[in-house]
């Protein structure tokens, strides 16, 4: 996946993990009995055509291929025709895809497919709003690790589809030294930003290092320690402006904590490099998408 230092290339969908999620979602819906309503009411040979339809203005579509995968895992005979693409901005009434084939498969897959599509499109739509709020500035919006357990790959994919940028994917791809790390290290006499950075650099020389700073003294120490990134944690606009002057380009600066959509334009004018917000994934409203079905035979 991309991260804050490499731009906003669209991450690949990890289909191994995606398929596992789809299987788990279908299993919790069907258990060992299956769709008792559909199987008892809908004739086995019934055919149908259905469309996925956008029902809200300004929605950014994400997850269409996941929805297709759900339908085909439930019923391989279903034909899925995409009418739009991930990243498209859709309006009320826009058709997103057409699915045709066995009616039972359509009904069984409907809710699971919509759950994925609505969730990911909601993330993409929110991410687009955050990115738009920083238009005209050099500041880039980042996501966080505050993702739904198991969904990180898909949710970070949706963030990138919406035009925001992925931060580190997990605990393995960037060193991020926070106050809790420093306090635990201090129990063995190895606390402090400088000592922590030295130990991290020695252990993983190939990885970039980010340090969380709560005050200007910590910003100064982190910059002098030669880290690549400094997180300005819960700082006021005034303190962030001082941090920008203090660091003077020696490290990339990331604003975090207390980030709201309304505050973003002000932060962009301060001149930090990044703004990270967990709200891109943990507080979004799922998009409003429907599946409308017609029996054809």
User: Which of 55, 65, 84, 146 is labelled catalytic?
Assistant: 146
Question: What is the Cα 287 distance to its own chain's centre?
Answer: 14
Which residues have C-beta within 8 Å of that of residue 175, sequence separation ≥ 6?
Answer: 200, 204, 207, 208, 209, 210
Catalytic residue among 111, 201, 220, 269: 111
143 is catalytic: no
**Catalytic one of 68, 86, 233, 254:** 233
The one catalytic residue among 75, 110, 155, 212: 212
Active-site pick, 55, 89, 178, 199: 178
Collapse the DSSP code of 84 into the 3-class scheme (helix H, G, I; strand E, B; otherwise coil) and give the result. Answer: coil
- Tell me, yes or no, if 199 is annotated catalytic: no
285 as an active site residue: the answer is no
Is 297 labeled as catalytic in the residue annotation?
A: no
Q: What is the DSSP string of 31-80?
A: TTT--HHHHHHS-TT-EEEEEEEE-STTEEP--HHHHHHHHHHH-TT-EE
Is 212 a residue of the active site? yes
Tell me the three state secondary structure of residue 194.
helix
Q: What does DSSP assign to residue 173? A: S
> Looking at the DSSP assignment, which residues form a beta bridge with residue 209?
175
Residues with a catalytic annotation lie at 111, 146, 178, 212, 233
């Amino acid at each position: 996946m991309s991260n804050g230092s490499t731009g906003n290339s669209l991450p690949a969908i990890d289909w191994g993990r995606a398929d596992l999620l789809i299987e788990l979602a279908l299993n919790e819906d069907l258990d060992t009995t299956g769709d008792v309503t559909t199987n008892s009411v809908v004739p086995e040979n019934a055919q149908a055509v259905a469309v996925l339809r956008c029902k809200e203005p300004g929605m950014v579509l994400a997850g269409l291929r996941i929805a297709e995968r759900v339908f085909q895992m439930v019923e391989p005979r279903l034909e899925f025709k995409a009418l739009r693409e991930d990243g498209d901005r859709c309006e009320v009434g826009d058709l997103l895809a057409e699915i045709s084939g066995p009616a039972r498969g359509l009904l069984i897959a409907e809710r699971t497919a919509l759950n994925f599509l609505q969730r990911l499109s909601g993330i993409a739509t929110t991410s687009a709003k955050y990115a738009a709020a920083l238009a005209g500035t050099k500041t880039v919006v980042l996501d966080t690790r505050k993702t739904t357990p198991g969904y990180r790959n898909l949710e970070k994919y949706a963030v990138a589809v919406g035009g925001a940028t992925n931060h580190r994917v997990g605990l393995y791809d960037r060193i991020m030294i926070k106050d809790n790390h420093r306090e635990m290290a201090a129990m063995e006499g190895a606390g402090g930003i400088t000592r922590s950075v030295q130990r991290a650099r020695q252990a993983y020389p190939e990885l970039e290092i980010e340090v969380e700073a709560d005050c200007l003294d910590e910003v100064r120490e982190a910059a002098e320690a030669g880290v690549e990134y400094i997180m300005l944690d819960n700082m006021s606009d005034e303190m962030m402006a001082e941090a920008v002057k203090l660091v003077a380009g020696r490290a990339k600066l990331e604003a975090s904590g207390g980030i709201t959509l309304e505050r973003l334009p002000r932060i962009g004018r301060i001149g930090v490099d990044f703004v990270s917000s967990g709200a891109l994934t943990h507080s979004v409203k799922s998009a409003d998408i429907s599946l409308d079905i017609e029996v054809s035979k």
